[in-house]
Amino acid sequence: MMAPMTVIYDPTKPERNRPAPLPDAEASARLAALADQARADMALIGHNHDWVPAPADGAYNVLVLGAGQAGLGSAFALSRHRIGAVKVIEGGPAHEVGCWTRYARMHTLRSPKNMKGIELDIPSLHTERWFEAKYGREAWDATDLVPREDWNEYLTWYRDVTGADVDFNTTITAVHKPDASGYFTVVATRDGERVEYRARRVIFSLGLKGGGGTFLPPLVENLPEHLRFHTEDDIDFDSLAGKRVLVLGGGASGFDNASTALEAGAATVEMHVRRSDIPRQNSLRWMEFPGMQEHFYDLTDEQKWEFSLFNGGLPQPPTQASVWRAFCHGNFSMLTDTRWADATVRVTDGVEEVVVTDDKGVEHVGDVVISATGYAVDLGLRPELEEFLDDIALWSDEFEPAVGHGMGLCPYLGDGFQFQAKDAASDEAREYIPRLVHLSTGARASHGVAGNQLSGIFAGLTRVAQRIATDITKENWPTFFREFRAFEHIEIAEAGPHREGEAWYPDGPRY
Ligand SMILES: Cc1cc2nc3c(=O)[nH]c(=O)nc-3n(C[C@H](O)[C@H](O)[C@H](O)COP(=O)(O)OP(=O)(O)OC[C@H]3O[C@@H](n4cnc5c(N)ncnc54)[C@H](O)[C@@H]3O)c2cc1C
């Protein structure tokens, strides 16, 4: 009998954190067979013909902005409703899907491996099947959390198998109000050239920044740009070799960036945490049940608000492995109960250093700061929403207790993550605002855990596609009804007895 296989998550040896693949030829053949199976499964339980009227010349029914897991999942969810002419636009290159090989610097996902996800009820599209095809069943059984690079690779496979139509290296710069025929114009740049797309609907799935932007506390933002980073920045970690790094924040990204800096040869990494301890409890794990994932939206505003306030105060913990990964370096230290009161630059003999003074008056000196301070929800920071901002209803517009609260800046979304128009909006805006869909961080006040993260992504994608399919049906009802009136499908060729050899007739034993 073979010895049981173990996949070792050794925090000091990142290269050992991916299971050994099966021999290339075998893995490729298994993945190709799985892709065939997935396509067959999709066809088997898919709708059998198109139904959405073709959009005007060169336009799309839906443009999906961002080809991370949320954008790709949206495109797939729409295809399950047989909604064609869907284009996905992505700023990055084809080999990187979303954040996973960019600023997500952990070894593994935090989400449990056995979650319902972007496969949307097609088992052969699930990560588990992909992983099994690539590494073998034992590797999956022995794997605790899915390695991050495998997740990226799985997403590229998923993108291919689900047939997403993606334009890569295309960065969206603006979205304009619809023209007289109801089509929005999306403006982007590719290779320095301006490109334009037109579509009836737009899904904004631009990642964690999509609800606003990265958040830097003002005293960090005021430091010169070359001395401070946000964890989402494209940091050249090799340039941190020999440097003293100050990390602000003890969440997942704080630990991942601290470890990446240490592995790149940083002289020291000092992490500063405001609380008396790092977060340990992960409340997301409670939220992963159907009532919460699929039906949070149906609660009252009071219930949603109460939940949002309570949940908003619960910090997300890092994984145990990422804490170990940092602490196994002797030159890593973590200071709790440390609030930054000031941050300045001191220049000695032409050499710059950052001097941070904490609220107890203690000075901490480093060469560079990495701010692991998360994201802000503020649609006003999104250039692509500029023309719509005045008309989009926020929680603070619709629910009195939300006025003046940070969470009140979250958009007050409809059941399919669509923006809603403010009461004061024009009739025109009231028609087109709900054709814009926000599948990003601002959705949490309206949809809780459903949305772009794995904890509830299947529910978010399902709602988005369901709403769009409903709205397309309503919008096109006059056309559908006209088609129905003119419809001819003659099934009775003979108003008489069946003649031998003419056509199929049920004469077998079961009739
Ligand atoms: C350390 C860390 C650990 C995490 N662990 C987990 C986890 O275990 N499970 C989980 O579900 N989530 C986890 N997350 C959160 C994860 O980032 C999101 O769940 C996931 O990225 C959401 O997918 P998305 O498609 O919305 O965003 P993204 O993956 O960020 O994709 C958005 C895409 O939009 C593109 N884009 C953005 N702006 C533009 C533009 N102007 N023009 C064109 N394209 C653009 C980007 O290039 C990107 O490809 C983690 C995040 C971090 C930082």
Report which protein residue has its CA nearest ligand 1's atom 19.
453
Ligand 1 centroid to residue 210 C-alpha, Å:
9
Helix (H) or strand (E) holding 286: helix 284-287
Q: Taking a C-beta distance cutoff of 8 angstroms, is the pair 73, 212 a contact?
A: no
Q: Which atom of ligand 1 is nearest to the CA of 206?
A: 34
Q: Are residues 401 and 424 in the same domain?
A: yes
Contacts of 101 (CB under 8 A, 6+ apart): 95, 148, 149, 152
CA 208 to ligand 1 center in whole angstroms: 6
How does pLDDT run across 344-353, given as a tens digit for each residue? 999 999 999 9
Same domain, 82 and 117: yes
Give the angle subtended at the CA of 246 by the CAs of 245 and 250, to the nearest 5°: 125
What H or E segment, with its residue span, contains residue 326? helix 320-327
pLDDT band at 11 (very low <50, low <70, confident <90, very high): low
CATH no. for residue 341? 3.50.50.60
**Same domain for 324 and 466?**
no
pLDDT confidence of residue 511: 60
- Residue 508 belongs to a domain: no
- Average the pLDDT over 180-209 and give the result: 97
* Residue 275 DSSP class: S
- Strand ranges in 137-261 using DSSP code E only, listed in sequence order: 166-167, 171-176, 184-190, 193-204, 212-214, 228-230, 244-248
Distance in angstroms (rounded) separating the CA atoms of residues 392 and 377: 14
Q: Is the pLDDT reported for residue 446 higher than 80?
A: yes
Distance 353 CA to ligand 1 centre (A): 32
Assign 132 a pLDDT band (cuts: 50, 70, 90).
very high
| Residue 2 covered by a domain | no
Provide the whole-model pTM.
0.94
Query: Per the domain annotation, does 110 fall within a domain?
Result: yes
| Ligand 1 contact via 67 beta carbon (within 6 Å) | yes
**What is the pLDDT confidence band of residue 508, given thresholds at 50, 70 and 90?**
confident
What pLDDT is stored for residue 12 in this prediction? 57
Higher pLDDT, residue 106 or 315: 106
pLDDT (0 to 100) of residue 17: 57
298 part of a folded domain: no
Q: Is the pLDDT of residue 15 over 70?
A: no
Q: Do residue 152 and residue 253 come from a single domain? A: no
Lowest mean pLDDT among 297-301, 311-315, 337-341, 445-449: 311-315
pLDDT at residue number 185: 98
| pLDDT at position 5 | 39
Which pLDDT tens digit goes with each residue over 427-436? 999 999 999 9
Enclosing domain of residue 29: 15-211+377-475
Percent of the chain with pLDDT over 90: 84
Amino acid at 412: Y
**pLDDT at 484 > cutoff 50:** yes
- Our CA dihedral for 71, 74, 76, 77, rounded to 10 degrees, sits at 170
DSSP state of 297: G
Query: Are 267 and 319 in the same domain?
Result: yes
Q: Give 388-445 pLDDT, tens digit per residue.
A: 999 999 999 999 999 999 999 999 999 999 999 999 999 999 999 999 999 999 999 9
pLDDT for the residue 293: 96
Last residue of a domain, one of 353, 373, 393: 373
Distance CA 189, CA 218 (A): 31
Mean pLDDT value across residues 281-291 = 92
What pLDDT does 6 receive? Answer: 39
Residue 79 lies in a domain: yes
Question: Does residue 455 have a pLDDT over 60?
Answer: yes
- Give the model's pLDDT for residue 448: 95
Atom of ligand 1 nearest to the CA of 231: 53
| Lowest-confidence region among 18-27, 40-49, 232-241, 438-447 | 18-27
Same domain for 85 and 222?
no
345 and 381 share a domain? no
The residue whose CA has the least distance to atom 50 of ligand 1 is 104
- pLDDT bracket for residue 499 (50, 70, 90): confident
The verdict on the CB of residue 453 being under 6 Å from ligand 1 is: yes
Query: Is residue 10 scored above 70 in pLDDT?
Result: no
Task: Mark whether 403 and 454 lie in a shared domain.
Answer: yes
**Mutual orientation of helices 148-161 and 127-135 as an angle, nearest 10°?**
110
How far does residue 75's CA lie from ligand 1's centre (Å)? 16
CA distance 122 to 117: 10
- 331 and 242 inside one domain: yes
Measure 428 CA to ligand 1 centroid, in angstroms: 33
Residue 315 pLDDT exceeds 50: yes
**More confident: 152 or 6:** 152
- 82-105: average pLDDT: 95
Indicate the pLDDT class of residue 4, thresholds 50, 70 and 90: very low
- If you measure from the C-alpha of residue 101 to the centroid of ligand 1, how many angstroms do you get, rounded to a whole number? 10
Q: For ligand 1, is residue 91 a contact (CB within 6 Å)?
A: yes
* Residues 427 and 446 grouped into a single domain: yes
* Phi, psi (degrees; rounded to nearest 5) at 423: -55, -40
Same domain (yes/no): 52, 103: yes
Q: Which of 422, 418, 423 is nearest to 435 (CA)?
A: 418
Domain count, the chain: 2
- Closest to 156 in 3D by CA, of 171, 189, 134: 134
- The band of 8, judged by pLDDT with boundaries at 50, 70 and 90, is very low
For residue 297, which of 427, 162, 414 has the smallest C-alpha distance?
Answer: 414
Closest ligand 1 atom, residue 457 Cα: 11
Measured by CA distance, the residue closest to atom 20 of ligand 1 is 453
Ligand 1, atom 3: nearest CA belongs to which residue?
A: 104
Cα of 205 to ligand 1 centre, how many Å?
9
Residue 291 belongs to a domain: no
One domain, residues 229 and 130: no
pLDDT of residue 449: 92
Residue 499 lies in a domain: no
Per the model's pLDDT, the better-predicted residue between 70 and 115 turns out to be 70
253 lines ligand 1 (CB under 6 A): yes
Mean pLDDT of 283-299: 94
Q: How far is the CA of 44 from the centre of ligand 1 (A)?
A: 31
Whether residue 106 has its Cβ less than 6 Å from ligand 1: yes
Q: Is residue 491 part of a domain?
A: no
pLDDT digits (tens, 9 = 90+) for 26-62: 999 999 999 999 999 999 999 999 999 999 889 999 9
pLDDT attached to residue 7: 41
Q: Residue 103 C-alpha to ligand 1 middle, in angstroms? A: 9
